[in-house]
Amino acid sequence: MFITGFPAGSWSTNCYVLASAPGEPCLIVDPGQDSIDRVHEIIRENRFTPAAVILTHGHMDHVWSVAPVTRDFEIPAMIHTADRYRLADPAGSSLVAAREQLLAMTKDSLELTEPSDVRLLPEVLSQDRAQLELAGITLGVRHAPGHTEGSVVFDLPMADSPDVLLSGDVLFQGSIGRTDLPGGDPRAMDVSLREVIWPMDDETVVLPGHGGQTTIAAERAANPFLQAAAAGGSAQPAPRGL
């Protein structure tokens, strides 16, 4: 399995590219601000054929470049139904800055606009897992609301190494996603951490939406927000980023 990622843009949002091997179809995860050029480089260097963009949620720092990327490769964007509305106006669904200021930061007219081909990820309850077959890759899709209504995590079963979790902004190294923006829900986040994240295997490698990679074992041992949610308390992180 080929997995690479890089931080991009003002919010250092991690964008990932997944494929079974060089020369094969690939998936692009969360192409945020200033990610377009590097996405093109990775695809060219590895002779990939893009198949889809998949989104962990609809905040603008994760979807900033979805429209131009999907246009360039003529591929769909996939998002959970509860966050579908965010793609209609990514700048308007954020309170971080004025809409006009955000639009002035775009490189071309397609950034921060709605993709022409949007498809919905399978709907599942937080404790359930849907299996998605894309680009020769088997992905588990789990609904994990709290950061946004339609936040999801993707898990990749690996044959000869620990499984991988693309956690979006649900789980970070030592922290979790904020719940104080529109669509955020602290109680839903507690349930997602307790029912989706906590039961995963210790060895699972976590690739988050921001910051460095970690493991489920490390977060169980040291992440106070995950520990609080698992114990039946409330995880209330300080506001940070998007």
Q: Is 240 part of a structural domain of the chain? A: no
pLDDT band at 100 (very low <50, low <70, confident <90, very high): low
Domain for residue 23, yes or no? yes
Handedness of CA 208, 148, 143, 175 (dihedral sign): positive
What is residue 76's DSSP assignment? Answer: -
In terms of pLDDT, which residue wins out, 39 or 125?
Answer: 39
How many domains, in total, are found in the chain? 1
Please compute the mean of the pLDDT values over residues 131-137 and round it to a whole number: 92
**Domain residue limits at 223:** 2-230
Q: What is the pLDDT of residue 95?
A: 56
The 10 Å Cβ neighbour count of residue 107 is 13
Predicted confidence (pLDDT) per residue in 28-63, tens digit: 999 999 999 999 999 999 999 999 999 999 999 999
Cβ–Cβ < 8 Å for 12, 210: yes
Residue 15 placed within a domain: yes
pLDDT at 129: 83
Cα(28)–Cα(19) distance, integer angstroms: 9
pLDDT at 237: 62
Q: Does some domain include residue 222?
A: yes
Instruction: Say yes or no to pLDDT of 99 above 60.
Output: yes
Tell me if 87 is assigned to some domain.
yes
236 occurs within a structural domain: no
Q: Does a structural domain hold residue 242? A: no
Give me the CATH number covering residue 225.
3.60.15.10
Phi, psi angle pair for 2, to nearest 5° = -100, 120
Give the whole-angstrom CA distance, residue 48 versus residue 26. 6
Contact 32/16 with Cβ under 8 angstroms? Answer: no
Establish if 223 belongs to a structural domain.
yes
Could you give the 3-state DSSP secondary structure of residue 209?
coil
